[in-house]
Amino acid sequence: MNISDGDAVHRSIAAQRISGSKKSRSERRRRSGSRKTDIAAAAAGADSLTKEARRLLSTLAQPDVSAIIDPTDPESVLVHRRRSEISVGAGRFASAVADTLVRQDLTRWEQTPSGRKGLRLTKAGEAYLRRASAPEPDMAFFHQHRETELATVETETGATRVRVDSEESPLDWLRRRKGRDGEPMIDEASYQAGERLRTDIMVAGLLPGVTARWDGMPRSGGPASPGEATDRMVAARQRLRTAFDAIGGDFSDLLLDLCGFLKGLEQIERERQWPARSAKIVVRLALVRLAEHYGIEASARGPAASRGIRTWQAVVIEGGKL
């Protein structure tokens, strides 16, 4: 084979490679475009729900609500709400409306314990309702993926109503989560004790900084050094040392991860190689002991009902040391 033949072979191979790469790129663009079209179509379908479909979706999101096919009329869906251990009617909808929600993956049909065909809200349906009920249209995506609630915060100008992320702290999740007995996983006393510890951890400056520092000579990227600590930080560190000594070393590390670093129960179990669903038991014990140290009780009992503060946990400094 001469040189000209070799050049022709190389040109033909290069042309095949270029055409193949162009073909693969066009195929990827076509597939990506089809996926975007499907997502846009699903979103458009959810936004084009009828008023009756929206009402059924909102009804299914209410607590203690169940929906089943009417035994006497298969073309209708009966909605019941449980109040004071009594099931009362909450509305009647056409089966076609329920099928519309099922086709858009906002609800699903499932078999009830009684053997009837029931309608249940899906995760996509819950996300759609959160997005639709967003108070600010430009924050709809945030409200879709996060649980928010209004809270009153004391500021320098007085009380202010703000919207907070209720899923930021695992303590909020534990307080909202209910066990098999229907009671929250932690009581109000444990929650208040955990929040007090969380506040002291933040004020003490023990957590590493995650934002940019704009001072001229940043000294370190971690917690503030003793020379940089203010009187408020020193007092918070003293309260933390007293609390950690009172509840013990094992519980101290656990509560530091839970209240300080805001680690969830699954992450705590994974990092400590604990059995599944065991962290909630240990966390409840740790928070109860912390509440006892702070002198917080869910309800006053006996003579303590007529007194304000049950105990006063004071920090005594002798010779400049705890």
Domain match, 147 and 274 both: no
Cβ distance 153 to 143 under 8 Å? no
Instruction: Band the pLDDT of 37: cuts 50, 70, 90.
Output: very low
What mean pLDDT comes out for the span 75-89? 74
In a domain, 288, yes or no: yes
Residue-wise pLDDT tens digits, 96-116: 999 999 999 999 999 888 788
Least confident of 19-28, 169-178, 245-254, 272-281: 19-28
Residue 322 confidence (pLDDT): 44
| pLDDT > 50? residue 228 | yes
In a domain, 294, yes or no: yes
In a domain, 76, yes or no: yes
Domain-ending residue, one of 66, 97, 122: 122
In a domain, 13, yes or no: no
Residue 84 confidence (pLDDT): 59
In a domain, 12, yes or no: no
Distance CA 41, CA 127 (A): 17
What mean pLDDT comes out for the span 45-74? 83
Domain match, 176 and 253 both: yes
In a domain, 7, yes or no: no
Distance CA 286, CA 232 (A): 26
Domain-ending residue, one of 122, 154, 182: 122
Single-letter amino acid code for the residue at 203: V
Domain match, 183 and 154 both: no
DSSP letter (8 states) at residue 254:
H
Domain match, 163 and 175 both: no
Domain match, 265 and 174 both: yes
Domain match, 103 and 205 both: no
Domain match, 262 and 180 both: yes
DSSP-assigned beta bridge partners for residue 163: 150
Q: Give long-range contacts, CB 8 A cutoff, 24+ apart: 294-301.
A: 294/192, 294/193, 294/196, 294/243, 296/189, 296/192, 296/193, 296/196, 297/189, 298/187, 298/188, 298/189
In sequence order, the 6+-apart residues with CB closer than 8 A to the CB of 268 are 254, 257, 258, 274, 279, 283
Handedness of CA 129, 133, 134, 140 (dihedral sign): positive
Domain match, 112 and 143 both: no
Cβ distance 269 to 276 under 8 Å? yes
Containing domain of residue 178, as a range? 169-209+222-306
In a domain, 298, yes or no: yes
Domain match, 161 and 251 both: no
Question: 161, exposed or middle or buried, with CB in 10 Å at 0-12, 13-18, 19+?
Answer: exposed
Domain match, 70 and 176 both: no
DSSP E strand stretches across the chain: 65-70, 73-83, 86-94, 107-111, 117-121, 148-155, 158-165
Interior angle at CA 275, CA 289 and CA 261, nearest 5? 55
> To the nearest whole number, what is the mean pLDDT of the chain?
75
| pLDDT > 50? residue 42 | no
Which conformational region is residue 264 in: left (phi greater than 0), alpha (psi within -120 to 50 degrees), or beta? Answer: beta
Domain match, 174 and 300 both: yes
Domain match, 190 and 276 both: yes
| pLDDT > 80? residue 172 | yes
More confident residue, 149 or 310: 149
Q: How many domains does the chain have?
A: 3
Instruction: Band the pLDDT of 40: cuts 50, 70, 90.
Output: very low
Nearest C-alpha neighbor of 124 from the set 105, 110, 138: 105
Residue-wise pLDDT tens digits, 303-319: 555 455 455 554 444 54
- In total, the chain counts a number of residues equal to 322
In a domain, 236, yes or no: yes
Please tell me whether the overall predicted TM-score, pTM, comes out greater than 0.85 for this model.
no
